[in-house]
Amino acid sequence: MNKSLANQKPKPRSTSKMLKREVVEELLEQRKLGVQRTQQLTENGNKVPTLKKLREQENELFKQLQEEMKKTEGLRQRIKAHEEAINNATSELRKKLETIDAENSCCICLLNWSARGHHRLVSLKCGHLFGKTCIRTYWRQSNRCPICRVVSYEDDIRQVHPYNCDSTTDE
Ligand SMILES: [Zn+2]
Ligand SMILES: [Zn+2]
């Protein structure tokens, strides 16, 4: 009986002991989890101002980006204006050169006359200018000036010296 009691009694004791220990362990575990959660919440709580700060930085960066874009657009406009000015100046210059080229061209062959040689610059009585061989060839058809139709003769041909060079002996 005693034996059986002794055998029986420790069982519930041990069970209760075990239960107690389990409860304590569970409580401890719960507490541990509770502490962890509190820590997490605190960390999250600390993150809130960080997020706010990040948003502020984001807004600031966005403003800066807009400013930079404005500046870039301004520069782009200025470059465009410069390019237009350069293009205008270039076409103006080209026109002037074309005019100079036309003014220095023989109206018969449309080439520039030269300071010496067969296409040297000559004038007629009327004052119009030609390359020497061109006006002589033209005279085979008519001795009138191809521009103003005034009649000229061989003696009326004058050698013109547009450049500061001694090309007078050329024939
Ligand atoms: Zn000519
Ligand atoms: Zn003429």
Q: Which ligand is nearest to the CA of 111?
A: 1
Per residue in 125-144, pLDDT tens?
999 999 999 999 999 999 89
Q: Which ligand is nearest to the CA of 151?
A: 2
Q: Which ligand is nearest to the CA of 104?
A: 1
What distance in Å separates the CA atoms of residue 122 and residue 158, rounded to the nearest whole number? 5
Q: Which ligand is nearest to the CA of 114?
A: 1
Say if residue 13 is in the same domain as residue 49: yes
Beta-carbon contacts of 121 under 8 Å, excluding residues fewer than 6 positions away, are 113, 114, 115, 129, 130, 131, 132, 159, 160, 161, 162
Residue 170 has pLDDT above 60, yes or no: no
Say if residue 125 is in the same domain as residue 53: no
Interval between CA 46 and ligand 2 midpoint (Å) = 99
Interval between CA 120 and ligand 2 midpoint (Å) = 17
What distance in Å separates the CA atoms of residue 139 and residue 120, rounded to the nearest whole number? 16
Of 45, 74, 99, the residue at which a domain comes to its end is 99
Phi-psi label, residue 111: left if phi above 0, alpha if psi -120 to 50, beta otherwise: beta
Say if residue 150 is in the same domain as residue 93: no
Tokens (6 digits) for 84: 């237009």
Range of the domain at 39: 2-99
Interval between CA 124 and ligand 2 midpoint (Å) = 7
Interval between CA 152 and ligand 2 midpoint (Å) = 9
Per residue in 7-39, pLDDT tens?
555 555 566 777 788 888 888 888 888 888 888
Interval between CA 122 and ligand 1 midpoint (Å) = 10
Of 57, 72, 99, the residue at which a domain comes to its end is 99
Say if residue 139 is in the same domain as residue 121: yes
Interval between CA 103 and ligand 2 midpoint (Å) = 14
Per residue in 42-100, pLDDT tens?
776 666 668 888 999 999 999 999 999 999 999 999 999 999 999 999 999 999 999 88
What value does the mean pLDDT take over residues 134-155? 92
